[in-house]
Chains A and B, each alone.
Chain A
Amino acid sequence: AQRVTQPEKLLSVFKGAPVELKCNYSYSGSPELFWYVQYSRQRLQLLLRHISRESIKGFTADLNKGETSFHLKKPFAQEEDSAMYYCALRGITGTASKLTFGTGTRLQVTL
């Protein structure tokens, strides 16, 4: 079975403060990890995936297989980062193309 856990429903930070959105996963094989973001009144969109090792909008995430974590980080939060963030896992064996999502964390950046 595969599971994604996002322990925080809401994370409130001040503009300019560092951000860390936590994500832990459970999967018996080698997973592919993603962060998706949903801004207000917009559709769900990919923010980043671990195999790309990119920084998107200042966000980074490193896959830690020892701790089974894929935390999302940004050094300085901006107001426009306020959104719902979902961590997701995709198994890479067989027909396991579905995404398993966490329950999401709402990031609120205030002045």
Chain B
Amino acid sequence: GAGVSQSPSNKVTEKGKDVELRCDPISGHTALYWYRQSLGQGLEFLIYFQGNSAPDKSGLPSDRFSAERTGGSVSTLTIQRTQQEDSAVYLCASSSVGDTQYFGPGTRLTVL
């Protein structure tokens, strides 16, 4: 079936603007994860959803970052008042509980 999809694939925004990144997980996967891939930093965990609730938000770097998941499916990561250090590739992954995480293609965010 279809894999994890993310939109947009690329986003260029100006410093101070808000952005929304979307993730469509694999159908039936109850767990959804957001990670950030910055140059030289590797992949950092941001937040994990089980169904619609987020038992682990420990990786969100500041209160400008938030995420929600509705209907146990689509998730949106919102970054308010973007800063240049937010520039990165944002990756979404989904899995059945305790199983392999399957990754999406990512959204490349550039903050000018």
Contacts and interface: CB of A to CB of B under 8 A. Distances in A.
Interface of B, helix, strand, loop or mixed by DSSP: strand
B62 to A, nearest CB: 18
Interface stretch (A10-18, A23-31, A38-46): A38-46
Interface in B58-110: 59, 91, 95, 97-98, 100-106
Interface residues of B, number: 26
Interface residues of A, number: 18
Given A43-B106, A45-B103, A98 B45 contact: yes
Interface string A68-88: 000000000000000000101
Contacts of A45: 102-103
B105 A43 contact: yes
- Smallest CB-CB A-B distances: 6 pairs: A103-B42, A101-B43, A44-B103, A98-B45, A95-B55, A43-B105
